[in-house]
Amino acid sequence: MSNDPAICKRLSRAILAAKSMLVHYGTEEDHVIMLRDPDCPFHIEHIRKKEIRKIRVTIDKIDPFDEKICRKFILPSELFTKEIWCRTKGNSHFIKKEIR
């Protein structure tokens, strides 16, 4: 992650926006958890009835480094889905990519 304060703020806002979107469009049974473990490449855990999504949030682009560290993080694929959500400058939506 960059040490540039403006980039850090944009990323923080993007993470909060992703969490807000998951809470707003989810069901009452869903749980959205912010992950703060420095050894975990994901920012959000979205727990649904039959699936747990681990979500990494990026800004501007999905970098090969982001994909690589998400792939390296081993999770049981029958329960977990790994995704990267990218928010580009000036857009409120996210580009989403599932990582296998």
User: How far is residue 45's CA from residue 30's CA, in Å, rounded to a whole number?
Assistant: 10
pLDDT tens across 30-77, in order? 999 999 999 999 999 999 998 999 999 999 999 999 999 999 999 998
Best CA proximity match to 43, nearest among 56, 58, 32, 53: 56
Q: How many domains does the chain have?
A: 1
User: How far is residue 81's CA from residue 92's CA, in Å, rounded to a whole number?
Assistant: 23
Structural domain of 42:
5-99
Give this prediction's pTM.
0.94
Give the domain CATH number at 48. Answer: 3.40.1350.10
Assign 1 a pLDDT band (cuts: 50, 70, 90): low
pLDDT tens across 12-23, in order? 999 999 999 999
